[in-house]
Structures are given as structure tokens and as C-alpha cells.
Structure 1
């Protein structure tokens, strides 16, 4: 099979990959995107489990580089479901005529940097070899599922589905005994959706979550016109806020009276969005007293709905602060546990020991017989998508081995020792967690596009993160992270859900606007922190 030669190879055809492909093609590069999936969408192709939907408002989870593209699509509601989101990304691919440069059903297995040619040799699972100058990873932050977690899992006689690999065909759960492992944002969406369909539902709960009620109104012509008329405002505002959402932190906790604080909390809560987390008080991330007061506010809301003391004990967090884990939005999730066919199973102190033919066995020997097991067990966030590819940089160094020792990047855009490999949605950038993903992914893909334009305009062919530049960014990142309560809480935000993963806050916590300024300043200073040759 002949080797294919490219200027740039993009891994992934989701939100970042589609835009990156479009921009690089616009500047005249011979570029091609590859994706394991059979269609575009990335996260929104794979995560088609029952109840999958946005928890960012649809009108901000969009590309903002083209007003016609933005206004050419109309959302049906504030937080639409997976099918509509996948349809939107297909609209984008068709509008920009991207499919002719995307190869689906193809997995990138290996990428090796050749120090003699300063190019990457990439191989696929189909036996293809691609020679490319630039390797650009748009693999997604949550795209490497934690699926094979339990002993004897393959012995189960029924069906096991991970939410991130849900089949396209209809899964019949009617009347069946179903177990859901995990109650994070994804698990909550599944549980609240299937409870009235299944015969018996057992939810295996290790860590309770602070959950906020979602208000998800339908959009008619008036609402659609309202948000489309705000295009210029959103284009200017979203890249500068703390988390890339339209709302932001305003008043300091200390500047308000107790009554004013309560009013702010109630207003944010009633918004039915992530506003309480991302625009109430920034001090929830740094001040333990403020964190506790806001956490107790949310606990009281949850207690009022649950009422049952045993359910409150099991489902309401008490040992970590609101917002230091990913905050889920829900629709009558708590009320699900009042149903006769739903049983919560506590597994923090009595963990799942193994999966057998009949179902799930706990450490104390209890067997829960099941027909279907749904694994909402999360991801190897930030790093997993790339460490599952055999990526070799200078001197044959392995990215998997490097990141197993210490997770380091330069602004989440490059890794020292891997020239011409430019990255999105990897650690040490906001896109690793604390960001409206389209905001951050657009920032990163646009920076990458401009960096390549700069190289070409100046007769250069290689860009590489310097060790000094990377060390400086890691030190800056860690200084901010160490002051943040997220760093003191065990969650996938710090990699604690993956055995052996080095502990580090994966997401840059300095804010989306501040991150954007830092990356633009580095570029304006001749790509400070990077070596060009």
C-alpha cells in the first residue's frame, strides 16, 4: 500500500476536528482528518445513550467564526438531545463541504516523529501509512472510556453497554432487570430516562453528586430569533468569560450582605442551568467557608426533594464542596428514587468485586441478578485518547510513558519533545474540563491555524515546545491549581478515577479569558515558549 503524503493530519472529526480541517484547508494545506467513527460528531456520535443531551445552552455551544453558519441552524430547545446535536454537526460538515477530506472507520494506531525529515509517519488500523508535516490531535477530552474495569466482566450472560459506546440500533430495556454503574452527569441522564421503562433498576452509587435541576424549554420562532440576534454579543463575550459561557462571576462574596448572597444563590438556582456553579461566587473554588455555605444551600434543595433520610444520606454529598466535581444537570432525577422499581445500592464501603454470569457481585458476596448492565463509568480524561495511540517523539520517547510519569504540556497546545504535534482538549488548558467546549476548542484550533500560517509565512517548517517554556507553564498552572479546592478533591478532574494516573488538576483553572490572553501574548511575542526552525 502506497504511503500518502499530507501537509497536516487531523485526528478526530468532532467539534475541534471539523473546524481545524476547515481552517487548514482554507490556508491551502493538503489536509485530511481521520476518525474511528462512521460519521462526524466526536462525542456526539458516540454518546447516544438514553437521555444524552447538552448541559451547555445550545446557542452558545456553536461555532462563532461564521455568522451565516450560526444563523443557518435553529435549535428546538435550550438543551437539545444527542440526535439533534449530531444532526447539527452533520449540517456543519455539509455546509463547509468537509466530508471529502475525512476518512471514517479508521483508527490512528501509531505516530512516529522522524528527526531526519522533521515529519511524522502515521499508521492506521487498515494498514495505511501517512507521511505528514503536522500532526494535530482533536481527539476530545472525554473520549477514552473506562470500560473493562471488573473481573470476569466477559462472563456476564446479558448485555453490557458503556454509555460512550452505545449502539445505534434500539436497545430494548422494557421490563428488564437493569443495573447502572455510576451516577455522574452521564449516569444521571441515563437513570432518569430509563426508570419508567425498565422492570427493575438498581443504581450502584459510590460517590454522591450535587445535582441541579435543568429547565429545558422548547424554542419557537421568537426564542430562535432572540438568540440569533445576539450573535455579535456572544462572539465578543464568550471567549472572555471565566468558563466560556455567557454568564460570569460578578460580585465578590464579601461585598454582599447575607440577604444579597441568598438572593444571588436563589436567582442562579432558578435559572435551571449551570449558572449556580459558573456564575454565582468564584470563592466556591478557593474559600472553604464560602464553599461550605454554597454547598449547604444545594444540600437543602436536595433534601427538600428527597425527604427520605436514608436517601439523603446516600445521594447528597457531605465530604467535598459543591463545584469541585463536575456538576450535573438533571430532570426529576432525585424523584426517581421514590419509585418502587428503583433501588440505590451503596458501593463506597462495599464495592463491586466482580461481574459474573448472573450479574454483579459485591465485596460482601451479595449478588444482584441482572439482564443488562449499563456502565456510566467515565473516561481516562484529557490524556487517554492520546495515550491509547503509540505516539513517539524525539529519541523514540513515548507520550504514554511520559504522561504516566508526569502530565505536562505547554498551554495544552504542545508537548515538549514532540515537534509539529499540536494538541486540543489535553491537560493544562481549560478545555480539559472547566469550559464550554466549543469556546475553548475554537480558541485552540484558531491558535494552531495561526501558528502554522506564521511558520509558512516565515519560511519555517518546525514548531516545538521548549523545555523552559513548558516548565514555566506547568509551574504557573500548578500555582493556580494548588490554591483551588478542586486540587484537594478526588475526582476525574485530577485523574483519580484511573489507577496509576499521575495526580494533577487536568484543567487550567485561571479562566478561559485569561488563558486566551496568555496564548495570544505568546504568539505575539514570536511564539514565546516555542522554538521555530
Structure 2
């Protein structure tokens, strides 16, 4: 029997393993893939790149570990991130407690022994006191392949960006159709277009993208970011979104148009997500948001030479209320002679044929199709597993497959004792720099389990009333923002038939961190804690 079982060997699972093991607990991580990395193990599509600056998209729990790895550029590509996670696994000797090539069929809480029974894909069973999910908000098990008629008859090759082959895919001279233009589409389209004979971009909803302005780190850059470790970590954990930026505390409406555009231009040339922090009310004040949206729209009109096409690439929703994407030559790619834009909102895809894709008004002959269509996010990775708590209540039934999701802090949920979710629904998660939020959760869970052990506590379970209050609070914060005006994958809008529910806490990473620490300091307020003696009564 183990103290804890952790699902997933990405950023979350690796740190959770290390943290619990350092405290003397027996831990086993189970990972579907053949190596560490999580999403970075599977998402190997052309152009896959991090959109947080490299020196912030990494672990900061150890200054020694931080300084022993050197990033090559501001925004590293997938292979470098995967090398980093392998470096961490080796440096901390984590592999000996990870079982690869192992799927989880289900996890069942046994009330007779107050333990979790984890059923592996090979039919074996593992018993653990604590069940911890590190599956992430986007998972290989929850890739979204649209239900388009005829895919099985397509004679060419097709791929999903979230489950890419490990060997190089050769697009040289081929006719390639890319469906979707979210993050993976915006990153992959420019790279595939450089190789393909012709690329067809099938777009339903245009996206906002801002330039990454990536560059190779100089020796001075490396020295400076390593020297600033302590301040960087502190700022990240106290900030709004987990980044070490200094936020502007002014409203966009306090400046005139000329001054605003100067501020936006400076941020545009700097590159990265810092443009969304240029004023403090961009995501709550529609008038302020409009000024930035208009600025970016004019940039698109300047970059894309065909004025009619430029208008089709301009979103009609509030800036950054869908997943904001960093791009490298995305809009410029539509000026290429070998790229064709296909507006599938005006002419929907009817079916996939033997030869390609047929829309309402045309048929496009293709050799390859790339689905850049994302994931069933937030709840999908959890609901793909059969998780059952007390009274044989399944997580699917409790959450009604996404219609009534409630959690306490995004870490736990009532009816599922001794189960912890790392960056679960209703935590800051994907609205933040993920490693920052992961570290906060792992450290909280690790300290919590240590507290339970020291006090001979058998079970810990979120109280339903506190859970419902937290969920209401998350919803109230959300409805006071412009996110509530825009359907997106954040709320499940990309999955046919999925109930709409916005499952991210928008109160800020720093405020959230203070909240969960206060709850811990108050003896884990909001949880019911029972010793063996209590349970026997």
C-alpha cells in the first residue's frame, strides 16, 4: 500500500512526487506516455512553443535547480521544454517512482478501509491513502476531434496537434488543411506553410494574437534572469496572473488616445502577454477593452495585404476574453501565395471525403488534415477517468458531465475524501502562468498531507456548503469581467453538447494564494477532518 498515488508525469506530477517524497511519504506516479512531460510529451506539432517567458515557465521551488538549467531563448520550443522536464526528472531521481505506459481505468474510494483503489489498465490494483490528479486542464485523453462526417474514408493522413507523432511529419510539397486557429493552429500554420505545397486554413472564429518577439538569450540575459531569482519568484506568486510583471494601476480611460496608443505600441514591440497588463481595467471595462482591441485590429489590417481577408481575420469579441495567443508570423502567413483562407462560418464544412474537405460551396483536395481543434478542457481530463467517491458516487454524476461543477478551491470536492486535484476546476489554472499555479497547489497539498499524518487524521473531505460558496464566489468574480460576454473553450463552447460553465478562478494568483494559505493556517477551514476514532463512532 502507498501513501499517495499521483496521475500524470508532467509539471504537476513531477513536483508532487518530489515534494511528498522529500517529506518521507511513499508515492507512485502513473503516466500514460513513455516518458515525462505531460502535454509537452504529446504536443509535438510544428511550431509548438511556450507562451510564457522561459525563465518563468519552470520550477522556482529550488534556486539551485533554477540556476542549473539555462534556457536558450525567451520563448522555448517544445523539444527544449521536454528536455528541461527530463533534466528535472533525472536531477531529482524521479523515474524510479514513475510507472510509464500505464493508463488508469478508474479510482474508487473504499469506505471500509478509507483508502483509494486505483485500477490500472493492465487489470492490476493499487491501494493508496491519497489520490492526487496531476492530469492538467488539457490532456491527451481529452483531445477534441470534431464529429465531421466521413473522416474514416479520407485517404490521406490526419493528425491532431495534441497527439502528434514522435517522428517528423513530412509536409513537403503536400496540400495540407488545418482546421482550427486557436493556440496550436496559430503556432503551426506559419511553420507548415513554409514546407507545404499549399496550406488551407479552415477558420470558424478569428482569434486575437500578439507578437512573441522571441529572441535568443545572450549571456547577459541569462546572468540577469538567474540573478533575479528571488524577486522573480516572489512577484510571480503575488501577481495577478503568475508573471513577474509590474502592472499599470491606471484605467485606459484615464489617458487620451495618443497616450494609450503609445503605451500599446511599446508593449506590442516588446512582445508577449504584457500588452494585456498595460492598464488595470482591460478585462472589466468594455470601453477600455475596446481601445486595445481596436489597436490590435488596426495592426492586423496593416499586416494582412488583402483588406477583405484582413477583416475576416479580425475578431468581433472583447480582446483577450478567449485564449490570447502569442504568434510568430501568423498574420504575415496569409500574404503567402501558397496559403488559402477558408471561412467555414460563411461556408461550413459538410463532410470529409476520400480526397479532402467539402464545404457548403467548394471541395478542397488535400493530402493531409491537421486538427488544431484543442481539447475538452478543464473537466475533460478528469471525467475521462472513472472516479468514484463515497456511496459509489461517480464524479461524472456529481458534476453531471459538466453541468453543475463545484469544487472547493479547485483542489477538492465534497464526497471524495483524501482526493486532491492539482490546478483543478475553479482554481486560477489556465488563466495564469501554469507552473506558478502548480507550485502553489503542490506545496499546499504536500503541507496538508504532512499535517494529516502528524495529527493521525484518516480522512479529509471538503464540506458541501463551503464548496458551493466557493463556486458561487468564482461565478460572481467571472460575471464581473468581460470573459462572461464571450463563449470560449474556457467555458466548454468548443465541445458539441457540453454544458456552458466557466471553471477558472479570476480573482488573481496572488489573492488566491493568500486565500488557500489562510485556510491552511486555520486548521483547514471548509474541510471535515476525521481521525480513526471519529470514523469508528
CA distance in 1, matches of 2:280, 2:348: 35
Cα distance in 2 for residues equivalent to 1:288 and 1:222: 41
Q: What is the alpha-carbon distance in structure 2 between the residues aligned to residue 136 and residue 349 of structure 1?
A: 45
* Superposed counterparts of 1:389-408, under 5 Å: 389-403=385-399, 404=401, 405-408=403-406
Match of 1:240 among 238, 241, 260: 238
Deviation of residue 499 (structure 1)? Answer: 2.2
Of residues 407, 417, 420 in structure 2, which corresponds to 1:419? Answer: 417
SS at the partner of 2:431?
A: coil
* Aligned match of 1:462: 459
- The equivalent of 1:271 in structure 2 is 270
Following superposition, the deviation at residue 500 of structure 1 comes to 2.7
Correspondent of 2:485 among 488, 492, 504: 488
* 1:52 pairs with 2:48: yes
Report Cα offsets for 1:297-325 as digits up to 9, x if no partner.
111111111132211121111x2011101
Cα deviation code 1:377-419 (max 9, x no counterpart): 0111111111000111111111122222311111110111111
Whole-angstrom distance in 2 between the partners of 1:258 and 1:148: 42
TM-score (norm 2): 0.96
- Distance in 2 (alpha carbons) for counterparts of 1:35 and 1:285: 37
Deviations, residues 84-130 of structure 1 (Å, cap 9, x unaligned): 11000000000000000000110111111111111111111111211
Residue 365 of structure 1: CA displacement? 5.5
Equivalent pair of 2:301/2:311 in contact (CA under 8 Å): no
Aligned position for 2:120:
124
In the other structure, the counterpart of 2:333 is 336
The runs of 4+ residues in structure 1 deviating greater than 3 Å are: 254-260
What's 1:349 paired with?
346
User: Does the 8 Å contact 1:175/1:199 carry over to 2?
Assistant: yes
Query: Once the 2 structures are TM-superposed, how far is the Cα of residue 458 of structure 1 from its aligned partner?
Result: 1.0
Cα offsets for 1:222-278 (capped at 9, x unmatched): 21111100111112111011000111432221444444333322222121111112x
- Residues of 2 paired with 1:97 and 1:493: CA distance? 35
Q: Structure 1 residues 225, 206: closer, same or farther in 2, change over 3 A?
A: same
Deviations 1:151-180 (A, max 9, x none): 221221111100011001111110011000
In the alignment, what sits opposite 2:166?
A: 168
In structure 1, the partner of 2:533 is none
- Report the equivalent of 2:177: 179
Equivalent-residue separation in structure 1 for 2:158 and 2:373 (angstroms): 12
Whole-angstrom distance in 1 between the partners of 2:305 and 2:175: 26
Could you tell me how far apart the structure 2 residues matched to 1:148 and 1:270 are? Answer: 36
1:486–1:493 Cα contact (<8 Å) kept: no
Verify the 8 A CA contact 1:487 1:494 in the aligned structure 2: no
**Aligned position for 1:310:** 308
Rounded to whole Å, the distance in 1 between the matches of 2:433 and 2:467 is 25
Aligned residue for 2:281, secondary structure, equals: helix
TM-align CA RMSD:
1.2
Aligned residues: 525
| Contact 2:305/2:335 (<8 A) preserved | no
Q: Is the 8 A contact 2:117 2:128 kept in 1?
A: yes
User: Contact between 1:420 and 1:463, CA under 8 Å: does it hold in 2?
Assistant: yes
Q: Give the Cα separation in 2 of the matches to 1:225 and 1:249.
A: 24
SS, match of residue 461 in structure 2: strand
Which of 365, 377, 380 aligns to 1:369? It is 365
Verify: 1:139 aligned to 2:135, yes or no: yes
Aligned match of 1:31: 27
> Which blocks of at least 5 consecutive residues in structure 1 are unaligned?
none
- Determine helix, strand or coil for the equivalent of 1:335: helix
- Is the contact made by 2:355 and 2:366 (CA closer than 8 Å) also made in structure 1? yes
- Partner Cα separation in structure 1 for residue 308 and residue 486 of structure 2: 24
Report how far residue 214 of structure 1 moved: 1.4
Task: Specify which of 75, 97, 107 is matched with residue 101 of structure 1.
Answer: 97
Alignment match, 2:297? 299
Partner in structure 1 of residue 282 of structure 2: 284
Q: Distance in 1 between matches of 2:450 and 2:246?
A: 33
CA distance in 2, matches of 1:154, 1:17: 35
Greater shift in the superposed pair: 258-267 or 35-44: 258-267
Quick one: distance in 1 between partners of 2:411 and 2:258? 44
- Tell me the equivalent position of 1:441: 438
Q: Distance in 2 between matches of 1:276 and 1:532?
A: 45
TM superposition shift of 1:366: 2.5
CA distance, structure 2, for counterparts of residue 93 and residue 139 of structure 1: 17
- Cα distance between partner residues in 1 of 2:456 and 2:346: 61
Distance 2:32 2:280 in 1: 39
Counterpart CA distance in 2 for 1:408 and 1:495 is 15
Shift, 1:148, TM fit: 5.0
Contact 1:8 1:32 in 2 (8 A): yes
Check whether the contact 1:139–1:425 (CA below 8 A) recurs between aligned residues. no
Question: Equivalents in 1 of 2:116, 2:236: separation in Å?
Answer: 35
Q: Hey, what's the Cα distance between the residues in 2 that align with 1:11 and 1:187?
A: 28
1:152 aligns to 2:161 (yes or no)? no
